[in-house]
């Protein structure tokens, strides 16, 4: 039996993950999927990030349609390129990866400066691949300010291309991309949907959390959950917090 291009790419990388993100639920995705109701057809991720749960659900053909939402507009712009223009973003990443050779630190700083001016998706992907612990950080002005991991150059272009093409094959023609407040992103949810939420909680931070481009208050979030309960909408929440002293 001859595999299709989609099957061949997926067989090489398994569940593809083109966007490295600290806190990604890549490892937990199979456990999270086990809690999905049997009759849902659309998965909504209001805090999409690396979309690890959506990719896992698509890989296992558990869900037919996806909505990826994130308040971080450059991140959603990057997802648009990955899904709809996978060859272009792969080639752009490869050009940046090649151009850094011999000047890795200086080049990273230059790309970071240009990204904060232009918000270009290829710049963002390069920064995510190179930054310390794949950990996004923003300053008080909303500018990306994480330092590079000087021990590595980021994912090799051949590996990145496989992950990008794999993600595109899984999500193309099935995915709506939005950059809204999470409350807006779930407004049209129906009982046939499942909402997976991995929100930027403040529970582990004493002050503003630099990991996120925007925060949210727990009280407002709990109010949103009450509204979903009233509409009979299924949802799963990954809670980032702490208990006790």
pLDDT of 157 = 97
3-class secondary structure, 12: helix
pLDDT of 214 = 56
pLDDT of 14 = 87
Q: Rounded to 10 degrees, what is the CA torsion of 90, 149, 51, 239? A: 180
pLDDT of 27 = 85
* pLDDT of the chain, 245 residues: tens digit per residue: 445 555 554 455 589 999 987 767 888 899 999 999 998 999 999 999 999 999 999 999 889 999 999 999 999 999 999 999 999 999 999 999 999 999 999 999 999 999 999 999 999 999 999 999 888 888 888 899 999 998 889 999 999 999 999 999 999 999 999 999 999 999 999 999 999 999 875 544 444 454 555 567 778 889 999 999 999 999 999 876 666 66
pLDDT of 223 = 94
pLDDT of 101 = 95
If residue 224 lies in a helix (H) or strand (E), which one and from where to where?
A: helix 218-231
220 Cβ contact partners less than 8 Å away, ≥ 6 residues apart: 183
**Beta strand spans in 73-149 (E):** none
pLDDT of 41 = 94
Query: Could you give the CA distance from residue 171 to residue 29 in angstroms, rounded to a whole number?
Result: 16
pLDDT of 218 = 78
pLDDT of 206 = 43
Interhelix angle 121-130/104-118, rounded to 10 degrees, is 140
């Amino acid at each position: 039996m001859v595999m299709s291009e989609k099957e061949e790419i997926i067989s090489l990388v398994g569940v593809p993950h083109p966007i490295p993100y600290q806190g990604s639920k890549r490892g937990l995705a199979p456990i999270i999927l086990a809690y999905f109701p049997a009759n849902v057809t659309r998965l909504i991720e209001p805090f999409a990030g690396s979309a690890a749960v959506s990719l896992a659900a698509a890989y296992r053909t558990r869900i037919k349609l996806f909505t990826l939402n994130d308040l971080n507009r450059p991140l959603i712009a990057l997802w648009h390129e990955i899904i709809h223009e996978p060859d272009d973003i792969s080639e752009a990443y490869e050009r940046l990866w090649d151009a850094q050779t011999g000047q890795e630190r200086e080049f990273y700083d230059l790309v970071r400066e240009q990204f904060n001016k232009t918000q270009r998706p290829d710049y963002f992907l390069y920064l995510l691949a190179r930054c310390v612990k794949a950990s996004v950080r923003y300053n008080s002005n909303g500018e990306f300010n994480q330092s590079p991991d000087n021990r590595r150059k980021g994912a090799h272009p051949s590996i990145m291309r496989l992950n990008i093409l794999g993600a595109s094959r899984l999500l193309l023609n099935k995915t709506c991309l939005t950059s809204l407040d999470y409350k807006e992103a779930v407004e049209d949810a129906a009982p046939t949907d499942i909402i997976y939420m991995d929100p930027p909680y403040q529970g582990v931070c004493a002050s503003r959390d630099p990991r996120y481009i925007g925060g949210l208050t727990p009280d407002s979030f709990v109010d949103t959950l009450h509204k979903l309960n009233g509409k009979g909408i299924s949802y799963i929440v990954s809670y980032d917090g702490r208990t006790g002293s």
